Amino acid sequence: MEADYVIVGAGSGGSAMAYRLAEAGRKVIVIEHGGTDAGPFIQMPAALSYPMNMGIYDWGYATEPEPELNGRRLVTPRGKVIGGSSSINGMVYVRGHARDFDHWSDMGAAGWSYADVLPYFRRMETWHGGRDGADPAWRGTDGPMHITRGPRKNPLFQAFIEAGKAAGYGYTPDYNGARQEGFGPMEATIYKGRRWSTANAYLRPALKGGNVTILRGLAQRVVIEDGRARGVSVRRGGQSELVRARAEVILAASSLNTPKLLMLSGIGPGAHLAEHGIEVVADRSGVGANLQDHLEIYMQFAAKQPITLYKYWNLIGKASIGAQWLFTKTGLGASNQFEACGFIRSDKGVDYPDIQYHFLPIAVRYDGKVAAEGHGFQVHTGPMRSKSRGTVRLRSGDPAAAPEIRFNYMSHPDDWTEFRKVIRLTREIFAQEPMQAHVKHEIQPGAAVQSDAEIDAFLREHAESAYHPCGTARMGAADDPMAVVDPQGRVIGVDGLRVADSSVFPRITNGNLNGPSIMVGEKMADHVLGRDPLPSANVEPWMSVNWQAAQR
């Protein structure tokens, strides 16, 4: 039970890391508590609402009661399966805005500006999206992650894009390229009709090479001797055993489980560790702090024409879609149905987009409950850069116990102002002529919800997590008391231990987090191997020239 590197977590960052280390000839053990990702619930893109609600694939975590959301406990799915959350997510692929990464660099994550990370986004992807006028120079051509675009056959997708243009926001041929701002086609980690998780992209090829072994078990703590990580204590079959690392231990267990593991290992806020009888190895108050997420609502509209996916929302319809997918990997089952999107700025003086739209041609919740009114469609939307911050803390010293998760959603007053703008700007988009041909009426929030107080009441009851937690072991300068890892992913105060998942994000990025999480695994692998980083990209992302004076 020994390897050069021991990685905890077979998810987005961990799989990419394992692949690159194995490619370089290193021996790697990947510890994963979850099991196989085989079967249609994970591999069929249209079945995405199932795995994140199945205990066999999901850790089953929930927040503590959220004070600003009527004391609701929000579910926070995290993948407990090969491929991690890339095996249970919505498969939407967003790199993030260039300014997000420049901000990371400004916060002390030197070497993580957009010019620094773009080469890693290129290295990790094979892009199949060049038919919409996008510039391929920004994209990768031979990486493990296949990035595709849905067929957009349903006329509602184009109507939504046209409505965004009619509202004055403009078109972007590739929001992952030079220009994020605007409306256009959405991209997905789907390839040949299948979910292209990091298990399919990275882990399976790495396993075939013989340098990677997957060990099923619950990682209990990092074993630290004389200030250096020597391995990981793993519980399996009712027994604890030590998996030794000759070189380093790398944590990639998610932004909820990585800080939990660090604290169980004696790395974290000293007083909190003492409460649970854990000996302090490194007193780092940033462990489990800085927790961030995207909060969103589903704005739903009843449809005038019966052209939505609701016509398949019955046993016969689902069976026919499933059968077509099983035999041919084509049809509606081969798409996540998120095929059109938008990124806009909420106000003048905002220099880059802070509102995201996922358009879906059915009115349905993530848990698979369809709107009672039948034919409809919706957008998932919310602000991108909430100022609220939360915490992950230990519930007990028992490694099997779930962590205490508090996002403190909507705890900053600006969150309310921004969310009200989201609702009003969205209504304006759906009032444009291209969508008016399809909108019968607004289902949710509903036309009666107009005043600030009415909107706020709706948000308290209906805002949901977009499932984008991050930031709980953030990167920063080694002398920053709130930083947990340095810009090479090394845990400050302990040798031989790194983090390579969304925990290290200094601030949440625009859009969905799977893309940047994989990029972190890719880039950290070069740091682990002691390689020079890929040469910085010499590119100039598109920015609205008039952002200071105009909202669009």
CB neighbours (10 Å) of residue 549?
A: 9
Rounded CA gap, 439 and 449, in Å? 17
What does the DSSP 8-state code read for residue 364? B
H or E element, residue 399: none
Q: Give the residue carrying structure tokens 């997420």.
A: 293
**How far is residue 131's CA from residue 126's CA, in Å, rounded to a whole number?**
15
Quick one: CA dihedral 110, 111, 114, 115, positive or negative?
positive
Nearest partner of 197 among 305, 312, 79, 101, judged by Cα: 79
Q: From CA 247, how far away is CA 176, in angstroms rounded? A: 36
- For residues 494-525, one letter each, b for 16 or more C-beta atoms within 10 angstroms of the residue's C-beta and e for the rest, the string is bebbbbbbbbbbbbbbbbbbbbbbbbbbbbbb
* Residue pointed to by tokens 């369809």: 370
DSSP for residue 396: -
Q: What is the 3-state secondary structure (H, E, C) of 474-513?
A: CECCCCCCCCCECCCCEECCCECEEECCHHHCCCCCCCCC
Q: Which residues contact 284 (CB under 8 A, 6 or more apart)?
A: 262, 267, 268, 269, 484, 491, 492, 493
**CA 258 to CA 59: how far, in whole Å?**
13
d(CA 504, CA 502): 5
Active-site residue flag, 272: no
Which of 517, 24, 7 lies closest to 248 in space, CA to CA?
7
Which distant-in-sequence residues (6+ apart) come within 8 Å of 372 by Cβ?
A: none
What does the CA dihedral 113, 488, 89, 86 come to, rounded to 10 degrees?
120
Rounded Cα distance between 429 and 435, Å, is 8
Question: Given 146, 462, 468, 527, which residue is catalytic?
Answer: 468
Alpha-carbon distance 521 to 443, whole Å? 41
Q: Which among 293, 248, 285 is positioned nearest to 263, based on CA atoms?
A: 285
What secondary structure, in 3-state letters, does 22-49 show? HHCCCCEEEEECCECCCCHHHHCHHHCC
Token output for 184: 């256009």
Question: Which regions of 428-474 does DSSP assign to beta strands (E)?
Answer: 439-444, 464-465
What does the alpha-carbon distance between residue 390 and residue 472 come to, in Å, rounded to a whole number? 9
Give the active site residues.
468
